[in-house]
Amino acid sequence: MPFSQKTKTVLAYTVCTLVWGTTWFSIRLTIAPGGYPTYEAAALRFSIAIVVIALCVPRELARVRERVGTAFPWLCAAGLMNSASYALLYKGEENVPGSVAAVIYGALPLLTALGAAATRSERISAGQVGGGVVALGGIVMLFWDRLHVSREQAAGVDW
């Protein structure tokens, strides 16, 4: 039975909310004592994601190179940089509570906007910056009661 576009959108949003909403808890859980080593935990998570994506959209995945054309090397470079950022995120969560990591990571859209504006690679509107501030504020509000950081944890943010 085919789903309507509205149903697909709601399902996609729900899945994203469940996956990304549990990111900080799942990282903490997988790297806890008795869990996986840090980098292996990250690799496992993304390997599972690749399998799920491949099962959900096999035809589209097979056509990725055809669809992105000459941008394919840049897409690969972006993927490598994203994997490095997640490796650092997992490493940071060894010392910093998930709530602090969520707030720091939630600042990424604002930092990206500032970088794009500073390099003049993209025009950033006040609405986009305002949306980033509102989103970051929402993350801070969600985790406000768990934003306690000791000196040892603060040192983990620096690394």
87-120 per-position pLDDT tens digit: 888 898 888 877 777 777 778 888 888 888 889 8
Whole-number pLDDT of residue 37: 95
Using CB atoms within 10 Å of the CB of residue 24, give its burial: 0 to 12 exposed, 13 to 18 middle, 19+ buried.
buried
Q: Amino acid identity, residue 53?
A: I
| Bigger pLDDT: 12 vs 67 | 12
Using CB atoms within 10 Å of the CB of residue 62, give its burial: 0 to 12 exposed, 13 to 18 middle, 19+ buried.
exposed
| Bigger pLDDT: 117 vs 36 | 36
Q: Report if residue 74 sits inside a domain.
A: no
* Alpha helical stretches, state H, the chain: 5-21, 23-30, 38-56, 58-62, 64-68, 72-92, 98-106, 108-119, 126-143, 151-158
In terms of domains, do 101 and 65 share one?
Answer: no
Query: For the chain, how long is the longest CA-to-CA vector?
Result: 56
pTM score over 0.75: no
Whole-number pLDDT of residue 147: 61
60-87 per-position pLDDT tens digit: 777 777 778 888 888 889 989 988 888 8
Q: What are phi and psi of 94, to 5 degrees?
A: -70, -25
Give, in order, the Cα–Cα distances in Å from 36 to each of 24, 27, 41, 77.
Answer: 15, 10, 5, 27
In terms of domains, do 4 and 64 share one?
Answer: yes
**Whole domain around residue 36: which residue ranges?**
1-69
Q: How many structural domains is the chain composed of?
A: 2
Whole-number pLDDT of residue 153: 52
Q: Report if residue 85 sits inside a domain.
A: no
